[in-house]
């Protein structure tokens, strides 16, 4: 970072640009053809019915009803004919036939009302479904169209699509991040809720990633673009959500396949209701035909067909707004049935980065408390100096702890490393070694047995112990004087036990942890988290076998990072990748993607899946019940066609709106 911080002109706050809660009637284009047709049908239907009271000639009524039929039935007729040409029979054809039948027996007003309510119902359904489809696509509007780009000595506004990898972009306070990149100068807090679903702004400093579509809240930032606009995390998120919304749930696919057979059955049933009473029981044609038309209307499966997609699409959109991406409705259904959850350990149940937990110097009996030979600060300083040349995660943890305490990292000479065991180097004239017990196997020491016991205790607590010793004597017969040991551990996330408990409340019967760590460390972490089963010392293929074993006990979800756990994620009934923001591999690997690494996304995923399943069952039950009641009423109680139309179309709108409620789901 340069010494001089660039000046950023102020920008108006964009906090109000977060996507609003969807409202069914907001943003309606009243000039749209379908809206105009619905309004025209309503007007001409009323004019045909009450025109004579307004002074219209009596002969004008049939023509007014004809216009109402044309405006209300043209779309349905076209769709019905297309379905017939495709070898299927759908609900649109049933409604048009019923309306024509009503007109045939001198009930043109009832037929016009049927077309009006049917077209109105379809329009409301389309508006509701569009709300669910556009709930996540609205996030695209958060990305600005231009960016302040710095190229050489020139700074100018350029279109987002003109930015290339490596461009320097200036982000002013209150502006949205235009493209994926990394901070190179400045500090600020960025609201990433549009991508990861995190409720609190995240501090950003040089080296931290930035995602397109997120909001810079306070300070000015200077960033370097790392991806072109079309490959940004936000663009991939939108693309995947759109694909997910086009992939239908198994229940929806079944209902759509059954619709054509059901509709054909309704037509045959309607024909029988006309033929049988007239020719066998000699009932009058007009009343018999009218009753058959009423049955055709009320038996139509409109509410059944719309009940599932309305719920599925709303749930997918609501989850995406919270940073949870379902790859399709089928995975939403599968997640609702999950009984077993298997977690990867590192970076999932734990923080994913080792930290120093213990510093212990060795006090020998011959030493007084005030003369222990090495303080904890000196122990850490010596170890950090040696480990500063190593890239091992434990070494990085030790160096990070020293830096946190503002200790200088001393330069060393004669550095040597034994892979998997330890390192040594000369530090200010002393030969210092840092390693595990095996590293010190070649050195004699009476303290060996006691140190082994202490190392075992550390392992039992889920920690990795590293001995620090000074090598003394000549090269032919070196000995070691142990100075102390440093314990390092990948800490369990503070929220992990609460998340495990929440999963049990949601009905998860068994929770397992899979890890490549040793059994002692794994057992300690598993106990701290409260899982039921711990599988340790696992290679990727071993994790696959563990998942297969768990699947024998029930529907299983695997939670991992989407990269190292790819085989296990693919084997599970549902694979869930965590922390996938900016990670292409993770976004392509799993069935469900959590854009942030927050564990809270796991219970939310299961909760919204289960809630969606409940809503779908509610809709199906309600729709079937309405159909049965209306059919019984039409056959046994001479239900008037207008009431049948209101009941049928009303149930269709209600199940659609019930599914739309999932857009506001909160766990």
Q: At 359, is the secondary structure helix, strand, or coil?
A: strand
- Name the 3-class secondary structure at 272: helix
Buried (b) or exposed (e) across 49-86, using 16+ Cβ within 10 A? bebeeeeeeeeebeebbebbbebbbebbbebbeebeee
The HSE-up count of residue 635 (CA atoms within 13 Å, CB side) is 16
Task: Name the 3-class secondary structure at 101.
Answer: helix
Type and span of the H or E element at 136: helix 108-137
Catalytic residue among 167, 344, 490, 597: 344
Cβ neighbors of 228 (< 8 A, separation 6 or more) are 163, 164, 165, 179
From 513, 511, 516, 602, select the one nearest 553 (Cα to Cα). Answer: 511
Burial class (CB in 10 A: 0-12, 13-18, 19+), 521: buried
Task: Name the token pair of 83.
Answer: 């379905």
Per the CB < 8 A criterion, the answer to whether 68 and 112 are in contact is yes
CA distance 434 to 446: 18
Strand locations in 517-654, DSSP E?
533-535, 556-560, 574-577, 592-594
Tokens standing for residue 231: 């490959």
Tell me the helix, strand and coil percentages in the chain, rounded to 5.
Answer: 50, 15, 30
Asked if residue 645 lies in contact with residue 114, where contact means CB atoms within 8 angstroms, the answer is: yes
The answer to whether residues 88 and 260 touch, using CB atoms and an 8 Å cutoff, is: yes
β-strands 556-560, 574-577 pairing: parallel
Cβ-based burial of 45 (10 A; exposed 0-12, middle 13-18, buried ≥19):
buried
Q: Could you give the count of Cα atoms lying within 13 Å of 442 in the half-sphere of its Cβ? A: 11
Angle between helices 33-50 and 108-137 (to 10 degrees): 160
Q: How many CA atoms lie within 13 A of 215 on its CB side?
A: 23
Output the six-digit token pair for 151.
């190229």
Q: Is 508 left (phi over 0), alpha (psi -120 to 50) or beta?
A: beta
Taking residue 414's Cβ as centre, other Cβ atoms within 10 Å add up to 9
Q: Whole-angstrom Cα distance, residue 333 to residue 329?
A: 6
Phi–psi pair at 400, nearest 5 degrees? -60, -40
DSSP 9-25: ------GGGSPPPP-TT
Dig out the tokens for 470 from the structure: 């000074």
441 is catalytic: no
Secondary structure class of 29 (helix, strand, coil):
coil
| CA separation, residue 640 to residues 68, 183, 644, 653 (Å) | 20, 69, 6, 20
What positions carry a catalytic annotation? Answer: 344
């Amino acid at each position: 970072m340069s010494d001089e911080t660039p000046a950023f002109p102020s920008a108006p706050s964009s906090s109000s640009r977060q996507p609003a809660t969807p409202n069914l009637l907001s943003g309606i284009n009243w000039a749209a053809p379908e809206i105009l047709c619905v309004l025209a049908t309503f007007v001409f239907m009323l004019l045909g019915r009450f025109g004579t009271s307004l002074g219209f000639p009596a002969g004008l009524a049939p023509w007014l009803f004809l216009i109402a039929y044309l405006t209300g039935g043209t779309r349905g007729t076209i769709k019905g004919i297309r379905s017939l040409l495709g070898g299927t029979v759908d609900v649109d054809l049933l409604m048009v036939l019923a309306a024509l039948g009503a007109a045939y027996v001198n009930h043109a007003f009832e037929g016009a009302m049927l077309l009006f309510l049917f077209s109105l119902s379809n329009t409301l359904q389309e508006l509701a479904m569009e709300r669910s489809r556009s709930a996540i696509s609205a996030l695209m509007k958060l990305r600005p169209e231009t960016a302040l780009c710095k190229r050489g000595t020139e700074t100018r506004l350029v279109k987002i699509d003109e930015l290339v990898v490596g461009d320097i972009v200036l982000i002013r306070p209150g502006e949205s991040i235009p493209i994926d990149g990394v901070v190179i100068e400045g500090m600020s807090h960025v609201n990433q809720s549009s991508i990861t679903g995190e409720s609190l702004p995240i501090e950003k400093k040089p080296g931290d990633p930035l995602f397109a579509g997120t909001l810079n809240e306070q300070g000015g930032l200077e960033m370097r673009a790392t991806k072109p606009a079309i490959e940004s995390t936000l663009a991939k998120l939108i693309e995947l959500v759109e694909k997910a919304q086009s992939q239908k749930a198994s229940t929806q696919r079944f209902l759509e396949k059954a619709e054509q057979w059901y509709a054909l059955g309704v037509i045959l049933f309607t024909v029988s209701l006309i033929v049988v009473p007239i020719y066998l029981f000699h009932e009058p044609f007009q009343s018999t035909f009218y009753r058959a038309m009423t049955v055709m209307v009320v038996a139509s499966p409109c509410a059944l067909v719309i009940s599932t997609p309305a719920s599925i699409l709303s749930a997918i959109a609501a989850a995406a707004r919270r940073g949870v991406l379902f790859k399709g409705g089928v995975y939403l259904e599968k997640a609702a049935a999950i009984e077993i959850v298997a977690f990867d350990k590192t970076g999932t149940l734990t923080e994913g980065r080792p930290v120093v937990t213990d510093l212990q110097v060795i006090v020998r009996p011959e030493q007084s408390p005030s003369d222990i030979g090495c303080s904890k600060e000196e122990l850490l300083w010596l170890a950090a100096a040696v480990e500063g040349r190593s890239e091992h995660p434990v070494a990085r943890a030790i160096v990070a702890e020293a830096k946190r305490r503002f200790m200088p990292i001393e330069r060393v000479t004669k550095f040597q490393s034994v892979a998997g065991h330890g390192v040594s180097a000369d530090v200010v004239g002393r030969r210092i070694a840092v390693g595990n017990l095996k590293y010190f196997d070649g050195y004699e020491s009476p303290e060996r047995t006691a140190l082994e016991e202490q190392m075992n205790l550390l392992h039992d607590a889920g920690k990795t112990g590293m001995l620090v010793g000074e090598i003394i004597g000549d090269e032919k017969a070196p000995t070691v004087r142990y100075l102390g040991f440093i314990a390092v551990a990948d800490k369990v996330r503070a929220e992990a036990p609460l998340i495990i408990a929440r999963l049990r409340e949601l009905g998860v019967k068994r929770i397992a942890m899979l890890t490549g760590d040793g059994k002692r460390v794994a057992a300690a972490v598993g106990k701290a988290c409260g899982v039921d089963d711990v599988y340790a010392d696992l290679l990727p293929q071993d994790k696959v076998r563990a998942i297969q074993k768990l699947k024998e006990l029930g529907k299983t979800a695997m939670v991992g990072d989407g990269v190292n756990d790819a085989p296990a994620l693919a084997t599970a009934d549902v694979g869930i990748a965590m922390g996938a923001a900016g990670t292409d591999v993770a976004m392509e690997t799993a069935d469900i993607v959590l854009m942030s690494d927050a564990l809270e996304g796991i219970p939310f995923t299961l909760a919204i899946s289960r809630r969606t399943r409940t809503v779908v069952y509610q809709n199906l039950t309600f729709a079937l019940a309405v159909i049965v009641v209306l059919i019984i009423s039409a056959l046994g109680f001479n239900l008037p066609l207008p009431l049948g139309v209101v009941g049928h179309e009303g149930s269709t709108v209600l199940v659609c709106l019930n599914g739309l409620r999932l857009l506001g789901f909160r766990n």
